[in-house]
Chains A and B, each alone.
Chain A
């Protein structure tokens, strides 16, 4: 950790709205604020319409001739299929409570990143094309016609929203910009307008079973590598299995944990806890992805990718499913999975065979979060922990958007942290729990090309980390989301250098005393324990 690197510091981001009417579309694609378009190959793989080579910054988007008809028909259909959309088109009073709750707006100062105005981009078309007042009075009724410029504006701003749902917490009607973005992107997808950072992982997940395209033998190799590393550090050889029938539990993690630091240390943590608990579980190569980038494209693709988890649980004959640390994966598991691909009547109500705890809150979907599983183990004294092994870290916890605002998994990870770390400090109250700020890269905005947006969107989170760094010397942000683990290191290096990022179960893995382990000299990262400063 380079303490001497001079950190970048955000300047006060001014709000300087154009004096022009916002109903006039802005189609300027600012550098670093947009993502590259999806490759036609990915669209063909998942059966999406209108695959072609195009780029958002080119004037000609090569739209099909009847594009307007497709969008308006799509909007009408979705307003019948989603009460949320119909209601959210009608009931906003533009009170502005949501405006500066959005990290994208705080970071960019771009008025069309205010959740209310981002939604108005769609609402204005609904009014202008579909309501009598809007057709007659036009802009005086807040309506406008659907033009290619409006479409470009949709693309630009719907791909600056990370679907974090923070605005929805503050809205007096619960209007959820994530819902509007999801359906707005779904409409854009009807014309083949999508971004590569979403569609390529989604296409890979469709064929290989995970976003990163890890093949079955690749999965085996990776797991073996982690098993070897664990043996080196602890002297204990864990024994994970793949696609094994006869296991009680199917374990599904975000595939990001299989490939890159610091996610791989989280994965080693999973392996350690699952080994020590004695749970009879298996990995799957077919359902080797908990995350679901289909969610960032359309409900249909979300369902198609998610279907693998239940299908695999049924094929392997397990009793229930355990899920790793991932943000939007848990939004899908908690709010969509059973509805889309259930009922899960071929599974059993989840019961921890170690503690006997019945996970009543998962009795229908039959999928348990590993933080719930581990917290239960710790509460029943089933894990021997040596929290002093994490003494080199002064830890804070970044609530990931979806587990916080689409699930309410707030206390379980904190309970685990308090039991595995001796120095845990909360960030300011307005930036955690249901009010948590996004890492700035959710919903597929993790591409290198939109780095300006990523660093700006991450300002509120980075500022909160900086405040606990100054106050308590915090040097590690822990979180329960694979996107966080992938993008927060870059954000920290930029704004708050010297602060690392770790998944929750990496810290559990460090603290967990295994049966028969040798005296550990390093943590899971290979950093010596003796250097630990209290």
Chain B
């Protein structure tokens, strides 16, 4: 029996820690990158010469990058074949009529599979399953520790709050792009705004968006294993989103007077007649620049996960692999050992053992 000792990994001495080669830089560098963008936008805000760049090239370029990038992304994913039905089944299969099958966790129909994907997209079903393992003290003194599993819905809640807050905040922006403002926009605003701060409506979604972002960020900093695996590309979008949300909030609650001008600018963008950006102030410049950067960044980063889920072959196929044959477009013949060869090799032994043969002689 092996002697189970503490793990042999992670034995680098603390002296080998080098900030720029370690995890520290991954946390800080993306923040610096966002800070540089903020600075450029802030300084550039007063420049007449740069106005077309901030007011036209950047937002249109970002939109173009987003649309083309996403199309390229989806095409590159869908161009690849789905050779096998590799559903991850998370419930009872459809089998005998008296056994209740799990129609959403292990769907056997295409409708069921679609329902499963919708459940994932709208409610983050799989994240809700999350548990964490923990070693707890044994029942009696001197007992060895026990491995237990504890419910851990934090990530699910944080992710859900973040995504729905973001959706609401984005929908509120429709006010800037439509004139007259449609009824659903004001309806949504009334739903979201419980009370007012000064003259501005106080949107719950804005606060929950920032809180959820902070939770996701702190979680990444805090948990040692998560900090260890996180890349700059994990921090960068969080900083970027926080920057967009904070500048947006600051404008909403402090510089209300700019709203009509901001709306003129946005309407101009929407009608392909970009209006001036100069009077809107540095905060708006920063907000618009960060938001544009975020939009352009989506297709070329992990943020493209917004369209990957419905394509995921472990989730979007019915689990009933034996009911319908899945066709592999590149199925090709392979090296096999045919029965005839097998019988040739073992004929005498098979005959002696009384096992039926195809041919008595080779």
Q: Which residues of A contact B (CB under 8 A)?
A: 8-22, 24, 26, 28, 30-32, 46-47, 79-87, 90-97, 99-100, 106, 108-111, 114, 116-117, 120, 133, 140-142, 165, 168-176, 179, 206-207, 209, 215-217, 220-221, 242-245, 285-286, 299-301, 303-304, 307-308, 311-312, 315, 333-336, 338-340, 342-343, 357, 359-367, 372, 375-376, 379, 404-412, 415, 428, 430-431, 433-435, 451-452, 455-456, 459-460, 463, 466-467, 493-494
Contact = CB atoms under 8 A, between A and B. Distances in A.
Contact of A12 (B86, B145, B231, B313): B145
B322 A106 contact: no
B40 interface: no
A361 B322 contact: yes
Interface string B138-170: 000000111111000001000100000000000
Nearest to B129: A170
Contacts of B343: 286
Contact of A90 (B106, B144, B308, B325): B308
A93 B302 contact: yes
B155 to A, nearest CB: 6
Interface in B1-40: 1-2, 4, 6-12, 14, 16-17, 21-23, 29
Given A96-B229, A304-B335, A372-B95, A467 B146 contact: yes
Given A19-B16, A174-B312, A412-B95, A216 B2 contact: no
Given A99-B226, A339-B328, A13 B135 contact: yes
A86 B76 contact: yes
B27 to A, nearest CB: 13
A226 to B, nearest CB: 15
- Which of B9, B84, B105, B149 is the most central at the interface, judged by chain A CB atoms within 10 Å of its CB? B9
B226 A334 contact: no
Nearest to A363: B323
B88 A176 contact: yes
A372 B313 CA distance: 26
A91 B305 contact: yes
Interface stretch (B60-68, B96-104, B184-192, B264-272): B96-104
B126 interface: yes
Contacts of B84: 335-336, 339
B122 interface: no
Given A285-B346, A412-B96, 16 more contacts: A82-B83, A91-B308, A96-B229, A97-B130, A109-B10, A120-B229, A169-B129, A179-B86, A220-B353, A304-B337, A307-B336, A338-B326, A339-B328, A339-B331, A361-B108, A406-B89
B230 to A, nearest CB: 6
A99 B225 contact: yes
- Which of A244, A338, A404, A433 is the most central at the interface, judged by chain B CB atoms within 10 Å of its CB? A338
A243 B355 contact: yes
Nearest to A140: B232
Nearest to B14: A19
B229 A8 contact: no
Interface residues of B, number: 117
Interface of B: 1-2, 4, 6-12, 14, 16-17, 21-23, 29, 73, 76-96, 98-102, 105-106, 108, 120, 124, 126-127, 129-133, 135, 144-149, 155, 159, 223-226, 228-234, 300, 302, 304-305, 308-309, 311-315, 319-328, 330-331, 334-339, 342-343, 345-346, 349-350, 352-356, 358
A335 B133 contact: no
11 contacts: A12-B135, A15-B225, A20-B16, A96-B223, A110-B9, A172-B159, A207-B337, A242-B355, A285-B350, A339-B328, A408-B101
A80 B4 CA distance: 43
Contact of B92 (A20, A376, A410, A451): A410
A460 B87 CA distance: 24
A430 B311 contact: no
B79 A80 contact: yes
A110 B93 CA distance: 34
Contact of B342 (A217, A286, A405): A286
A20 B16 CA distance: 8
Contacts of B10: 16-18, 109-111
Nearest to B346: A216
A86 B145 CA distance: 41
Contact of B322 (A16, A90, A338): A338
